[in-house]
A and B are shown apart, each in its own frame.
Chain A
Amino acid sequence: MYDVAIVGCGVIGAATAYALARYDAKVVVLEAENDVATGTTKANSAILHAGYDPKPGTKMARLNVEGVALAAEICEALDVPRKACGSLVVAFTEAELPTLQTLLAQGQASGVPGLQLLGGAEARALEPNLSAEAVGALYAPTAAIVSPWDYALAMAEVAVKNGVTLCRNTRVTGIEKTVAGWALETTGGAVSARYIVNAAGLGAEALHNLVAPHRFTTQPNRGEYDLLDKSEGARVNHVVFQCPTAAGKGVLVAPTVHGNCIVGPTAEPVAGEDTATTAAGITALEAAAKKSIPSVNLRATIRSFAGVRANTDDPDFIIETAVPGFIDLAGIRSPGLSAAPAIGLEAVRLLQENGFAAPKKAYFDNTRRVTRFAALPPAEKAALAAKKPAYGRVICRCETVTEGEILDAIHTPIPPVSVDGVKRRTGAGMGRCQGGFCGPRVLELLAKESGLPPEKIPQDKAGSNILLGQTKQGKGE
């Protein structure tokens, strides 16, 4: 019997596990897929928003501001790539200037530090490739960019290191109330727990409805992106937003922590977790991005992708006790990534309201180190490759990821089981050739280290097999 079962291991489930790992309690995270952060957490704008967007007084506003302050500490402690590059919300007409005023006022009311209104020329001085049409901008120095999947992974890994159990390939399919708490039926067998935290993202409504009366309706909304080659990586230095409208925050152009440039998202209602890209989306992005940054080169796209927002009919995050012992962390759309660690702490408070009384542990190991060969200065490269020859073999030539780093990843507390799992942990395959060269080698390493035959190694989720058998020669015919 677990004290707490967290359902879902996106950034919200991971942040909750990270918060709970400090307590002397038995905690399990149940994740439907074969890895952490394969849902919305891996496909978003990757911005730690400064916090001027949400209406002051909402949970969104408070948790956003608290969350990004915590994110700075967590990324530092857990070696997560994060860069405080600042953001600009740009007005292109006089008519949009009052929107900037509104955002400034909201930000000030919510306690966002350092906000500043700029004229068009001042904005262009900060961001030289900004359109000549820009007439003003709201500058937020605290906005940052992050590697979203690495962020979630880091918190989950440290939680596991401190005793939390993570069960992958474990989809919760039924929940029954018991005397002591809950009995969960999962694709990985039966689990029982005193408390449940619902962090199931797009699956949160279905999970809620298993135990409580209908409370909210999910309105999935897809956002498409283009990720551009590093040759476009210096096109912008800040996150460049357009003025938000009723449809959302609009299309941004931003650097990524990996040195690329990202353009997106679109906004379009979809039926479910539909992450397909569309011809219309790809076309729309080009026009929208060029409005902000006319020189951005969309032909340098190395990957198009889409993520689905877990919007609901409630304009705020749904962070509350659904029924005693069952806590919803639902409707966590943007700024969910930004707010995540604050949402994790909020979950602990709600659990305590529900009777969770475990004391804090005497010792919590809040460390994580990742070797990133490419980023090291020459002398350290030399020392590392001398010490461990595997750091001398480059597997991903576009991103200069070595065999040593891939082996490191395979031996972390949450080892990757797929080629994309290795990519999320090391960056191998993220570059301009998109795994064309290194994919087969990563697959080979995964097969060797796991003892599985190559055709059992998936690209990403279960069922995404890369190889469908052996050649005639391979079979010895």
Chain B
Amino acid sequence: MTDYQLIVVGGGPAGLAAAIAAWEEGLTKILVVERDRDLGGILNQCIHNGFGLHHFGEELTGPEYAGRFVQKLAETGVSVLTDAMVLEVTPEKQVRLVSREMGYQELTAQAVVLAMGCRERTRGAIGTPGTRPAGVFTAGAAQRYVNIEGQMPGKRVVILGSGDIGLIMARRMTLEGAKVLACVELMPYSGGLTRNIVQCLQDYDIPLYLSHTITEIRGKNRLSGVTVAQVGPDRAPIPGTEQDFACDTLLLSVGLVPENELTRAAGIPIDPHTNGAVVYENRETECPGIFACGNVLQVHDLVDYVTAESELAGRAAAAYLAGGCPADDEPYIAVDAGAAIGYTVPQRIRPGKIDKSAELFFRVRAPMKKSRILVTSGGVQLAAYPRERLAPGEMERIQLPKSLLQKAMGSITVSAEEVAE
């Protein structure tokens, strides 16, 4: 006998949706473990609008979106443990955790859903030279100070990276009375959603410097300035293009890294392109009965997709139990990321396990004009999907009908190519 049928690690939107879906499929002994004092994950600090357009058909703030799921969860019999951190998950589905309330616990489950979200890349990871003063924050840490603690991390701000969190914080800091001097992006295009570039930068006349980077950080104790330079096609700074900004704050929005330490320690294979687990069509990892969904699996830009993916994982966990916890021996088709494609999720599809079709998520490596997405197997084209445009900042998805998958030979390759207008 195990302590729970299902333990969900992480109580963000992913964990909440997975737990609710598993409950709705008939599981009765479910535990959600959340490290924070409250459920809701990163959404709790995203007080801007723009969540839920796909899922609810209306625009909600982050806390409102999370609140609906927290409310729904409260109407189920799912147990919740907050202020509790999972320290280890074993392949045998033992979950070791510690909490203020319950102390150190070793719990067992028949299935586990990993929904730990992601963390932000830091200055060290991007190797910006200079001094190490206070005033250099990841955008998410600054967001937490402003939106949760009511504290201002700075007054004159430069933002490095044009990912969504950086863009949102450019607007937020401006509304709070700070002066945002520039948003600096290494690539020739932004990594954020187009709507955020318009609503967060352009509406406030904040200049976006594409193909630029920060080459030096200055200041003894508190940040006093940064040097910004243009970069060439090799992304190396071009000497002579430097300009100095006097600022007390630098916000870094230079990418998110799925938080997979537990996954790695459990010996579950990780895809080097997503930095998340390698999963099957139902978000099961290579360890039978352990599933992964949300930002811990792939960095999503829309929470609605997180919810959809997590419902899939929650239902799959219930089906796994209903099926008597089968070992994994079903044949699968490997999905390869081909030309112009950064990664795909899932990486493996078992045609025997899908109903009508499987949904495939991916991102392109660089912006593309009018294009088509191709699915091939053994050099034979199986399907093509037209797109008006493609951008790395926006996750793409296609439906792969079961009939198509049955034609595939061992593996399929997804690629994208531009077509004449």
Contact = CB atoms under 8 A, between A and B. Distances in A.
Interface string A304-341: 11000000000000000000000000000000000000
Given A434-B122, A434-B124, A462-B221, A471 B129 contact: no
B365 interface: no
A465 interface: yes
Given A465-B222, A467-B152, A434 B129 contact: no
Nearest to A43: B132
B153 A389 contact: no
Nearest to A404: B100
Nearest to A474: B150
Contact of A305 (B132, B150, B248): B132
Interface string B104-144: 11100000000000011011110101111111011011001
B406 interface: no
Contacts of B350: none
A135 to B, nearest CB: 32
Given A440-B149, A468-B153, A392 B104 contact: yes
B73 interface: no
Interface in B168-203: 176-177
A397 to B, nearest CB: 7
B134 A466 contact: yes
Interface stretch (A166-174, A202-210, A272-280): A272-280
B100 A470 contact: no
Contact of B120 (A279, A282, A384, A433): A433
A381 interface: yes
21 contacts: A279-B215, A304-B129, A305-B132, A378-B104, A384-B104, A386-B104, A392-B100, A392-B101, A392-B104, A400-B85, A432-B122, A436-B141, A459-B133, A459-B134, A462-B221, A465-B222, A466-B135, A467-B152, A470-B151, A474-B150, A474-B151
Interface string B70-94: 0000000000000111010000000
Given A394-B98, A434-B124, A437-B119, A471 B154 contact: no
A384 B154 CA distance: 39
B385 interface: no
A394 B85 contact: yes
A303 B126 CA distance: 9
B129 A381 contact: no
A369 interface: no
Nearest to A455: B151
B138 A301 contact: no
A67 to B, nearest CB: 29
B48 to A, nearest CB: 14
A464 B125 CA distance: 22
Q: Interface SS of chain B: helix, strand, loop or mixed?
A: mixed
Contacts of A275: 131-132
A167 B102 CA distance: 41
B150 A385 contact: no
B103 A389 contact: yes
A393 to B, nearest CB: 4
Contacts of A433: 119-120, 122, 138
Given A440-B144, A471-B152, A281 B129 contact: yes
A434 B96 CA distance: 24
B299 interface: no
Q: Which of the listed residues A384, A390, A393, A454 has the most CB atoms from chain B within 10 Å of its own CB? A: A393
B61 interface: no
A455 B152 CA distance: 9
A422 B132 CA distance: 17
A328 to B, nearest CB: 27
Given A304-B124, A393-B99, A468-B248, A463 B104 contact: no
B204 interface: no
A469 interface: yes
Contact of A470 (B119, B127, B135, B150): B150
B140 to A, nearest CB: 7
Interface string A445-477: 000000000110011111111111111111000
A175 B154 CA distance: 40
A439 interface: yes
Contacts of A77: none
A440 B141 contact: yes
A72 interface: no
A14 interface: no
A471 B134 contact: no
A227 interface: yes
Contacts of B248: 468
A398 B35 CA distance: 12
Contact of A468 (B102, B141, B152, B261): B152
A345 interface: no
Given A281-B129, A465-B134, 6 more contacts: A302-B124, A384-B104, A393-B99, A460-B221, A467-B153, A470-B150
A241 B149 CA distance: 47
Nearest to B252: A436
B129 A276 contact: yes
Contacts of B103: 382, 385-386, 389, 392
Best-buried of A392, A435, A454, A463 by chain B (most CB within 10 Å):
A392
B146 A471 contact: yes
A279 B137 CA distance: 21
A464 B127 contact: no
Interface in B341-373: none
A258 to B, nearest CB: 14
Given A389-B100, A454-B151, A472 B176 contact: yes
Contacts of B149: 440, 444, 454, 474
B100 to A, nearest CB: 4
Nearest to A403: B100
B177 A381 contact: no
A40 to B, nearest CB: 15
Contact of A392 (B98, B129, B154): B98
A302 B103 CA distance: 31
A39 to B, nearest CB: 14
B300 interface: no
A376 B151 CA distance: 36
A335 B9 CA distance: 47
Nearest to A278: B129
Interface in A254-310: 275-279, 281-282, 299, 301-305
B124 to A, nearest CB: 4
Contacts of A458: 134, 221
B177 A472 contact: yes
Contacts of A462: 221
B129 A303 contact: no
Contacts of A394: 35, 85, 87, 98
Contacts of A400: 85, 87
Contact of B99 (A392, A467, A472, A473): A392
A433 B124 CA distance: 9
Contact of B35 (A382, A397, A459): A397
B179 to A, nearest CB: 12
Contacts of A402: 98
Contacts of B154: 468
Contacts of B84: 392
A135 B138 CA distance: 45
A394 B88 CA distance: 13
A390 B145 CA distance: 23
A185 B328 CA distance: 76
A390 B83 CA distance: 11
Contacts of A435: 141
A251 B54 CA distance: 54
A433 B141 CA distance: 11
B222 A304 contact: no
A281 B135 CA distance: 23
A279 B125 CA distance: 14
10 tightest Cβ-Cβ pairs between the two chains A and B: A474-B150, A459-B134, A463-B221, A385-B103, A382-B104, A464-B221, A303-B124, A464-B134, A394-B85, A302-B124
Contacts of B402: none
